[in-house]
Amino acid sequence: MPGVKIPEAIIERLAQAAQPLEAGIAIAAEQVRMARQICHGVHLMAIRREDLIPKILDLAGVDPFDWC
């Protein structure tokens, strides 16, 4: 996305991960947890992997009925 800057630590974490997809899911869940501390919601875009959104939200501790 234009204007988005990914911290080098995140890039390195993904590069070193034995399972990059699982690491990416964990990172996304961490970001959701952090965002929920400062805002009322998040917008997730998992382009062509929308099937991963429930797993990300579950790891983030988001109740599916909390965001409906």
pLDDT on residue 42: 86
Average pLDDT score over residue span 29-36: 94
pTM for the model: 0.85
Q: Residue 37 pLDDT > 80, yes or no?
A: yes
Q: Are 31 and 23 in contact (CB under 8 A)?
A: no
Instruction: Tell me the three state secondary structure of residue 17.
Output: coil
Question: Residue with structure tokens 């109740």?
Answer: 63
Percent of the chain with pLDDT over 70: 94
**What is the distance between the alpha carbons of residues 13 and 18, in angstroms, rounded to a whole number?**
10
Q: Residue 12 pLDDT > 60, yes or no?
A: yes
Write the CB contacts of 10 (distance below 8 Å, at least 6 apart in sequence).
27
Q: What is the pLDDT of residues 49-65, one digit of tens each?
A: 999 999 999 999 988 67
Q: Are 61 and 54 in contact (CB under 8 A)?
A: no
